Amino acid sequence: MARPKIALIGGGQIGGVLAQLCALRELGDVVMFDIVEGLPQGKMLDIAEASPVDGFDISLKGTNDYKDIAGAEVIIVTAGLPRKPGMSRDDLIEVNSKIMTQVAEGIRDNAPKAFVIVISNPLDAMVTLCRKVTGFPSERVMGQAGVLDSARFESFIAWELGVSVKDVTAMTLGGHGDDMVPLVRYASVKGIPVMELLEQKYGNAAKAKEVMEAMVKRTRGAGGEVVALLKTGSAFYSPASSAIAMAESILKDQKRVLPTCALLNGEFGVKGYYVGVPCVLGSKGIEKILTFKLDAEEQEMMDKSVAAVKGLVDSLNL
């Protein structure tokens, strides 16, 4: 039985971790594309030479030619400039939109049946542009942001409560930016509301609310926190792991419910824009968008986040 083919567009930090994770999990044969000669070839050779140690048996190839992505079932796009300290994701829009246009054309012309997962920032605008250029159906073009943002939120909750991250469930909605919407009301530890556990820990509701507000603020600024510490780039381990969770759910038809940047058609009061929402990911890509009722405060935050997405997307003049 032929192995699935996975194409990685962009040989930077995230691309390298993506390739290694694909290899370690034996998700399929991997081809990495980058415009810099030698970069993808070198990274893939390096990972391939670890195969006897790590015990994986797949094909790993680096290329500077889009023709080599032909036949890819899943394509993960990381191409574009990373953030530097002091930059917002939105600051990257002009330069990364030019890169994304070229990438999307390469995908459209060489892998017309692929599912595309975009990680490049500013995420919501880059996914929109990718779909516009490829012309692919919306269920095959999606963005990775919510899995990462939610994982960050879950991490902070687990650390605060002193419990395993495996038992924390939390989710963010909206755009991948400072106006994202961490859903406090639905955050739980094995089904127990996080706010109840915080109130137990601190003995009063006011302190619990204050601690949660700090975690929400940290979640919204988590990417910037990493950028400020690294000084020369942005996060790459956690975004790569998050995108692999999405790719694996599609390749293995797992039907996982993952927060995904998806094109909405009236869900949550949004139509015609890519926004982060919970989706069922399976062999048909985005198979279903799960909706639920937001309370007034959550809806207000969602509206604000969507407004920021709209402003960014509209600036592309698509």
Q: Classify the C-alpha dihedral 55-72-132-79 as positive or negative.
A: positive
Is 176 noted as a catalytic residue in this protein? yes
Please give the distance of CA 253 from its chain centroid, rounded to a whole number: 18
Look up residue 184 and give its DSSP letter: G
How far apart are alpha carbons 2 and 219 in whole angstroms?
Answer: 41
Q: Classify the C-alpha dihedral 173-12-93-265 as positive or negative.
A: negative
Look up residue 82 and give its DSSP letter: P
Q: Could you say which of 83, 140, 176, 220 is catalytic?
A: 176
Provide the 3-class DSSP secondary structure of residue 257.
strand
Measuring CA to CA, which residue among 9, 256, 309, 262 is closest to residue 139? 262
- Token output for 301: 């935050």
Look up residue 45 and give its DSSP letter: H
Classify 18 in phi/psi space as left (phi over 0), alpha (psi -120 to 50) or beta: alpha
Measuring CA to CA, which residue among 147, 103, 95 is closest to residue 262? 147
Q: Strand order of the sheet with strand 192-193? A: 168-169, 188-189, 192-193
Please list the active-site residues. 176
